[in-house]
Amino acid sequence: MKQFLILISFLFVYYSTAGIEQAPPNFKVRDKQAVFVDFRRAQYNITFDVQNHRALVETKILFEQKQKGYPLFDLVNRPLSVTIHDKEVEVSLIKTPGDASKLRMIEKELPKGIHQVIIHSEIENGTRFSTNDRKPDWGNVSSGFFIRDLRDRMFLEKYLPTNYEYDQYRMEIDVKVTGTKRWHSLFTNGEKTKVSENHYRVRYPDFYTASSLYFHLVPINRFVRYYLTYPSIDGRDIPVTIYSNYRFYNYLAKKKAWKVMRELEADYGAYPHDQLIIYGTGLRGGMEHAGATETSIVSLGHELFHFYFAKGVHPANGNSGWLDEALASWRDKGYQTVDLPFYDSANLAAHNLYTRKTDKRSYEYGRSFMGYLDKQLKEIGKPGLKDFLRVFFAKRKLTTVTTEDFKSDLEEYAQMSFQADFFQYIYGGHMPPESGHKHVDHDHGGEENPHHPARTEAEMLSIL
């Protein structure tokens, strides 16, 4: 019965999210065909063992493989073990073509179909255990899955097994803190159920990618917290959590957040997330997740803007990340209009196809380019680029997009070509990078392997 219910609930929420079409091309490693796959769902069971200072994870991933080959995923820490169809398999760390990044390849050729992999691993990054020598039963743990987009392999793969950013998939986390009597709180951007004081279950929206999830586990007495609600223009009361070391920070963050939220909802429509989490950090800088940010007061407006462009519309790859920084930076400087970009030519979006990081010049160069697009739209009698962004956001909300998607939507809106401008100022005189597989079944690609038949989705679900 339970399995039946799981199956039914899966069928109801199942839809084919965009993704695999935006994956980089498959490639060969030592004559083996490495293949990008489409994650359907991932269950992460995490135990923070305070006595032994270890954070162990069991991950179950259900994925679809479109052609025969050796499946790819990523995890920065070396996995402790990987099991496919009940057999332990080897995993190797491989370089992508042109050395743009690294990935994990499962050393087992699998047929086209739905498969399940179970990965055991340990979380070390972002995690700190403390023991109390006088009271050995009262240790604690702090763990934050904070991400970065300007450097390689700094998304969820730094903490948990995941995929390239093109993939939107359903994630669930079950997290326990054991070996301590101290209680812990979890700040996270999903639907959270508290099983007991040190045990939470969280389910995240299906549109999340490797750069969406926010997870911050801390001892229960850490941080000053504000629990509030923000009244959205669409009538929802959005739950807001603001936490930091200082009540004064929370006060300032609340004031600024309300002001910027009103501005953004007026410009681009209703806030696209189910909650808003603000974690107050240092004096400068910040980073955005989906509806959650760790940020300074100075960067708060920039990060809130990213909840629309970066985490409301997600970049599908590193070559599309420039867009979010260009737009956020364009807003930061007051949406300026310029006659021409200040630079002759730059390549922000035609880097190696396997690049995951965003070009560092995206802010300054990208902002100038957006000011130039604004000028051109105004010249043909349109209200300007902000008006286009509202249309673009409404159309592409909760999907993953490429630079070419942005360009073609802009051309459709303006009824004019921007080919030459993108070629010169964004692609640096290169052709736009080809995105993705063609998904043609090669001669033997679709063949069933009699020793490891591809199981049906329902069969795999009964295993999960």
Stretch that binds Zn ion, among 203-211, 216-224, 321-329, 330-338 (CB under 5 A): 321-329
Compute the least distance from the CB of residue 39 to Zn ion, in Å. 26
Is 154 a residue that touches Zn ion (CB under 5 A)?
no
Residue closer to Zn ion by CB (options 238, 328) is 328
Give the Cα separation of 129 and 179 in Å (integer).
Answer: 11
Stretch that binds Zn ion, among 191-199, 203-211, 320-328, 398-406 (CB under 5 A): 320-328
CA 104 to chain centre: 18
Residues 214 and 277 sit within 8 Å (Cβ to Cβ): yes
Residues 65 and 37 sit within 8 Å (Cβ to Cβ): yes
Please provide the DSSP assignment of 227-275 as one string: EEEEE-TTS-EEEEEEEES-HHHHHHHHHHHHHHHHHHHHHH-S--SS-
Stretch that binds Zn ion, among 78-86, 328-336, 388-396, 445-453 (CB under 5 A): 328-336
The torsion defined by the Cα of 384, 385, 387 and 393, in degrees rounded to 10, comes to 170
Number of residues that bind Zn ion (CB under 5 A): 2
Compute the least distance from the CB of residue 302 to Zn ion, in Å. 5
Tokens encoding 227? 């629990």
Residue closer to Zn ion by CB (options 149, 404) is 149
Is 328 a residue that touches Zn ion (CB under 5 A)?
yes
Give the Cα separation of 353 and 331 in Å (integer).
Answer: 28
Stretch that binds Zn ion, among 86-94, 322-330, 389-397, 454-462 (CB under 5 A): 322-330
- Quick one: angle between helices 321-332 and 403-414, nearest 10? 60
CA atoms within 13 Å, Cβ hemisphere of 358? 27
Residue closer to Zn ion by CB (options 157, 325) is 325
Amino acid, single-letter form, for residue 265: E
Is 348 a residue that touches Zn ion (CB under 5 A)?
no
Compute the least distance from the CB of residue 271 to Zn ion, in Å. 18
Residue closer to Zn ion by CB (options 288, 405) is 288
Residue closer to Zn ion by CB (options 64, 325) is 325
Amino acid, single-letter form, for residue 346: A
Is 287 a residue that touches Zn ion (CB under 5 A)?
no
Compute the least distance from the CB of residue 332 to Zn ion, in Å. 9
Tokens encoding 329? 């930076």
Stretch that binds Zn ion, among 14-22, 95-103, 254-262, 317-325 (CB under 5 A): 317-325
Residue closer to Zn ion by CB (options 64, 359) is 359
Residue closer to Zn ion by CB (options 118, 327) is 327
- Quick one: angle between helices 247-268 and 385-396, nearest 10? 90
Contact residues toward Zn ion (CB under 5 A) are 325, 328
